[in-house]
Chains A and B, each alone.
Chain A
Amino acid sequence: MALDKKQIAQRIAQELEHNTYINLGIGIPTLVANYIPKGIDIEFQSENGVLGMGSFPYEGEEDPDMINAGKQTITTVPGAVLFDSAISFAMIRGQHVHLTVLGAMEVSENGDIANWKIPGKMVKGMGGAMDLVASAENIIVAMMHTNRAGESKILKKCTLPITGVKCINKVVTNLAVLAVVDKGFRLLERAPGVSITEIIEATEAKLIIDGEVPEMQL
């Protein structure tokens, strides 16, 4: 069975490391915060100016002056701090944030990512994504393996305008966990019950498969 969006987030949560600062993008990445493994201390940074982002507020306790980068109402955790946008991107550009999780429309085997523009159709802007992908040391992409027409979004080369070059490290899709390596994507894990053949069929990029590929443990 291919994973749903919540399960993709759940699998990515297994990548979180103790004592790290993490930036979560909009969409599936936001859900990662719901699956933090026990015993792991982390702080979430949101690029609009908060470190130590907490969960959504209880109804009636929403504060219009307290939102995340997705413009959703949030709370803060003890030890949180607020700052302006230049300081926020100093944390990002200066590599003080350890991990970035973000969504993508396309990724390619040399580590490029496209997630900000579909020419002539959708132009919303890159927001903070270009700053994040240009500087983050570790980038995990959360995405569906194929588009609605069943075409692969894991490509040899991105067809959409790119957000960053040679920057992503890992991709978690509804079908597989992939690592960006020198000559393509290494298939690390497959979704429970999904065969290697199914993954090969859904992938346009070069896949490197060594021996047994374990199923994801959720």
Chain B
Amino acid sequence: MINKEVTTIKKAIDGVESGMTFMFGGFGLCGIPEKAIEALAKLNIFDLTCISNNAGVDNFGLGLLLKRKQIKKMISSYVGENAEFEKQMLSAELEVDLIPQGSLAERCRAGGAGIPAFFTPAGYGTEVATGKEIREYNGKPHILETALTADFAFVKAWKGDTAGNLIFKGTARNFNPLMAMAGKITVAEVEELFPAGELDPNQIHTAGIFVQRIFQGEKYEKRIEQRTVRIRE
């Protein structure tokens, strides 16, 4: 067994530098690597390119890095719910590359799977297709999208083991398994870390081969963005 456990957050994020490209798992605030983001927001690293489906909210998630103007460029599919983001984007302080969500997911997956590019119908005929090669398959036009990789991928899982294997919970899975594959160094934070051998291999979602460092985070806030409930009758 190759032991991936790191005992401190400091060791988990060792080697991060200004100008690097980072991936962050999560959808909205669901399944984001809270602990890694908190730690990165305390460092003096800037000019970051961040690949994440969303950009957090003003005072939580990637909003923390935005507030300190650590991010130079965001690659996302949806960036509503963040006033600071909108301000920096409209004033051109922040460069933003908006891409269709399915293409974003597949570009991360491709990056981790050794596929440099692929054709997809999503975005044909729109701004997204500008400058991209177009080819017709089965009578339908498709655009060429390239793979994404990152210097560091930060992901969050529910359970993990010291071999780096991960199990996700609910819809907190989202982009995490894909980004885990696409990071040169993938840092996984988990709510519960087990010794290797204690998780059932049949139940593992992400194989430890994709994870370089793993640590157990404490006291997850798991903020809910839109609390919707039904009335008891």
Contacts and interface: CB of A to CB of B under 8 A. Distances in A.
B106 A86 contact: yes
A58 B30 contact: no
Nearest to A64: B222
**A interface majority secondary structure:** loop
Contacts of A85: 27, 53, 101-102, 104-105, 174-175, 178
Contacts, number: 178
Contact of A72 (B128, B173, B228): B228
How many of chain B's residues touch chain A, expressed as a range? 35 or more
Contacts of B170: 50, 63, 65-66, 82
B198 interface: no
A102 interface: no
Nearest to B128: A130
Nearest to A124: B80
A10 B76 CA distance: 33
Interface string B80-105: 11000010011000001010111111
A59 B229 contact: yes
A93 B121 contact: yes
A91 B53 CA distance: 19
Given A66-B171, A73-B229, A86 B122 contact: no
Contacts of B89: 123
Contacts of A49: 27, 171, 173-174
B232 A84 contact: no
A161 B126 CA distance: 7
Nearest to A76: B170
Contact of B224 (A55, A62, A82): A62
B211 interface: no
A84 B78 contact: no
A86 B79 CA distance: 19
